[in-house]
Amino acid sequence: MERTYCMIKPDGVQKGLIGEIISRIERKGYKIVGMKLLQLTTAMAEEHYREHEGKSFYPGLLQYITSGPVVALVVEGKNAVKGMRALMGATNPLEAAPGTIRGDFGLDMGRNVIHGADSIESAKREIAIYFKEEELLQYDKSLDEWIYE
């Protein structure tokens, strides 16, 4: 099974979407193996978004992502990175399909409700920023036999 990192961003928390988003993840069949409500420090945000350093939107991105609480999630399942990207929808909510998280709840590129790792490598790097290995759980769900062959 694959693990990926997702984060309900400050706008998603402020809009009261934590439960709805987690519900969609669980209904899809993914397993949440790590979850935290936290306020990102500037250092955490800089580490997370380091590939964007020097870009014109970088300062505003850091200010936004540290402006309120977020929910950090580690999600596990078959092809979790690709599957969660599909569940979230296109980065630009105006291009995201209805039925996706961003398509249903986002209105602006800079306030698109949720972040998700874009590769297995990114997922590993991002998970390590927010979680210690001992904070991630391993457990079986009896439902798994009905989800996977």
Token pair belonging to 134: 């001992």
Among residues 9, 24, 102, 115, the one annotated as catalytic is 115
Token pair belonging to 129: 């920023």
Interacting residues of 15 by C-beta distance below 8 A, sequence separation 6+: 105, 113
Catalytic: 48? no
- Helix 120-130, helix 80-88: angle, nearest 10: 80
Q: What is the spatial distance between Cα 6 and Cα 92, in angstroms, rounded to a whole number?
A: 16
* Catalytic sites, residue numbers: 115
